[in-house]
Structure 1
Amino acid sequence: MVKLVACLSALMLATGCATPKKYDYTALKESRPRSILVLPPLNESPDVNATYSMLSQVSYPLAEAGYYVLPVTLANETFKQNGLSNAAEIHAVSTNKLKEIFGADAALYITISKYGTTYMILDSVTEVTANAKLVDLKTGKVLWTGLASASSGESSNSGGGIIAVLVTAAIKQIVNSVTDAGHPIAGIASNRLLSAGRPSGLLYGPRSAHYEKDVIN
């Protein structure tokens, strides 16, 4: 028994008492970007709506965090005028060239790994997962990285019998097939990914009242 208690105590010290590693913001604090160019997200999901659904919703949390965000529609049109029509081609453009064309301090690269609805017999779940990295366009250095997910996560199995559950699931599948169910979930994921003030999230930008506090601390 004594040996068992000793082993359990050692295990608790090794796991339960460990503190999360603090994110290293050194590069971001040194760079102090004021303006951000958002590139069209890379889409690794099978849903063709993912790229522009996410792109249309990332400016808000960045602006709320205190950064100037180059208008995504203007940036996208500029890419098209230069013969770049998909996210993979745009992500391959050098940071020097992006700096030359747009003049932004940093670029945000987003990759969507999950986007869409998974259908099951009795229910369906819509999920969006994306990761991002902020890159200094002058030096090419990665300033910050993040990952976030969001899910509808609501079950409709709350009474009414198996027939009612099946009917509800069928209706949800029909509705989701004719609408982009992932769009509002992408908005939640975007806010979780890019809102400032979250653990390991972006620091506040220069347009925020919290900016100096974030940079100094």
Structure 2
Amino acid sequence: MKKIIICTIIAAAFLSACGTTNTVTDIKSVAYKGMYDEKPLAILLMPPINRSTNVEAKEYFHSTLNVPLANAGYYVIPTFLSMEILKKESAYDAELFLDSPLNRFGEVFGADLALFTIIHKWDKSHIAGSVDVSVEYILKSTRTNEVLYTRIGDITYNTSVSSGTGGLIGVLADMAATAINTAATRYIDVARACNTYTFQDLPAGKYSPSYGADANEFAGEKVFKATLSNK
């Protein structure tokens, strides 16, 4: 009887391990198949869609998107040019085009992809010592209108301070320092950290030395949580 129970436990553990293996993240060539099929070169940054209570979050995110994309090997349409044209053409509200054909944007800007970002949350907590952000990233083809890359992240930007001093005085000092540090944290630093972290699994573009060689690397989770800091 004992042998039967032991065998049952071993079998259950084995099946559990197998189940865990099946949930392993796909490799990039599978998760982002469209990126490898279409081989896009140029990206147009659409104005971020801000659904948070922070009215300035839109500008911070838009101004920090180009660097991680350029570092990944893509040509990013200059934002000063694209924003002027979008405003003149009454296309500043990207939400109007999220589910619409994007062929015209490809023709006007010469872009293969249009990047939409949706800021769902942007909350600063002085007591907890953090900036909590929830952002969705959507890269759509201007040729086929298909979503080729998407991730949504709940990101906590840690601004807490710890002096390592014990006792009540140390705790109070850390709380005060954390509040000051949180208040002084620049939103642009938070936006830059979020964008850099999210796009670290973006398939390499033509202008990257890794172009065509990263297909078998693991892609990041499409829905993720992360804690970042400037330390």
Bin the TM-score by the shorter chain.
0.7 to 0.9
Q: How many residues are treated as equivalent by the alignment? A: 209
Q: Is 1:22 matched with 2:31?
A: no
1:110 maps to what in 2?
Answer: 117
Equivalent pair of 2:52/2:122 in contact (CA under 8 Å): yes
1:189 maps to what in 2?
Answer: 194
Percent identical across equivalent pairs? 27
1:13 maps to what in 2?
Answer: 15
Query: What is the aligned-residue RMSD (CA, Å)?
Result: 2.9
Distance 1:127 1:175 in 2: 15
Q: Is 1:210 matched with 2:210?
A: yes
Distance 1:95 1:119 in 2: 41
Equivalent pair of 1:118/1:124 in contact (CA under 8 Å): yes
Q: Is 1:136 matched with 2:123?
A: no
TM-score by length of 1: 0.80
TM-score by length of 2: 0.76
Q: Is 1:60 matched with 2:62?
A: no
Distance 2:23 2:174 in 1: 44
Equivalent pair of 1:128/1:151 in contact (CA under 8 Å): yes
Equivalent positions of 1:66-145 (< 5 A) are: 66-89=73-96, 91=98, 94-120=101-127, 123-145=128-150
Q: Determine helix, strand or coil for the equivalent of 2:64.
A: coil
Distance 1:175 1:155 in 2: 7
Q: CA 1:167 to 1:214, structure 2 compared with 1: closer, same or farther past 3 Å? A: closer
Distance 2:21 2:101 in 1: 44
Distance 1:7 1:130 in 2: 42
Q: CA 1:13 to 1:182, structure 2 compared with 1: closer, same or farther past 3 Å? A: farther
Tell me how far 1:194 sits from its aligned partner: 1.5
Tell me how far 1:60 sits from its aligned partner: 0.6
* 1:149-172 deviation digits (Å, cap 9, x = unpaired): 543325335436445544654565
Unaligned runs of 5+ in 1: 196-200
